[in-house]
Amino acid sequence: MVLIFGGAYQGKTAFAQRAFGLSPEEIYTCSENEQPSFSYKAIDSFHEFIFECAKSGTDPSEFIISHFDDIKGKIIIMDDVCSGLVPMGAVNRLYRKYAGKSMQLLMGYADEAYRVFCGIGERLK
């Protein structure tokens, strides 16, 4: 599994496309009220799924652990949302906590991990 993360608007998806030769059709983008689909090579905006989990108070760690076999071999792209001020709302605070925990879990599973900064992808693992 490959983990690609970084702040919002850093060019993470474009980096994933460049580095792994992905076409847009091979990327699933997470959106509200949906579980990620694992029939694509890459799962983008994984933080949106985590936000959904925060809304319902469900720890995404359980989902990640139970879908370990589905996640193997995938490219997961997500925003790092853990380096800002403490959010005002309880849901956003839970979102931040879940995102950090999920990123640590995924980082543990990952064979390769990259942080993207200003369009520049740097390999951390």
Partner 1 sequence: MLALILGGASSGKSMFAQILIKKLSYENNGDLFYLATMVPVDDEDRLRVQKHVDERSGWGFASIEEGYNLGNCISKVSSGGSVLFDSVTSYVQNALFSGHPSVASMGSEDIAQSILNISKACSNMAVVSDYIFSDAERHSAEVENYRKTMGQVHQMIAHEAGLVIECAYGFAIAHKNTANYPLGNIAGELQAASVNSGSELR
Which residues of this chain interact with partner 1, rule CB under 8 A?
A: 6-11, 51, 79-85, 87-88, 92-93, 95-96, 99, 117-120, 122
Provide, rounded to whole angstroms, the least separation between the CB of residue 70 and partner 1: 26
Residue whose CB is less far from partner 1, 41 or 44: 44
Residue whose CB is less far from partner 1, 73 or 87: 87
122: which 2 tokens? Answer: 């740097």
Q: How far apart are CA 99 and CA 94, in angstroms?
A: 8
Provide, rounded to whole angstroms, the least separation between the CB of residue 60 and partner 1: 14
Mention every residue, 6+ apart, whose C-beta is less than 8 A from residue 113.
2, 3, 4, 5, 107, 123, 124, 125
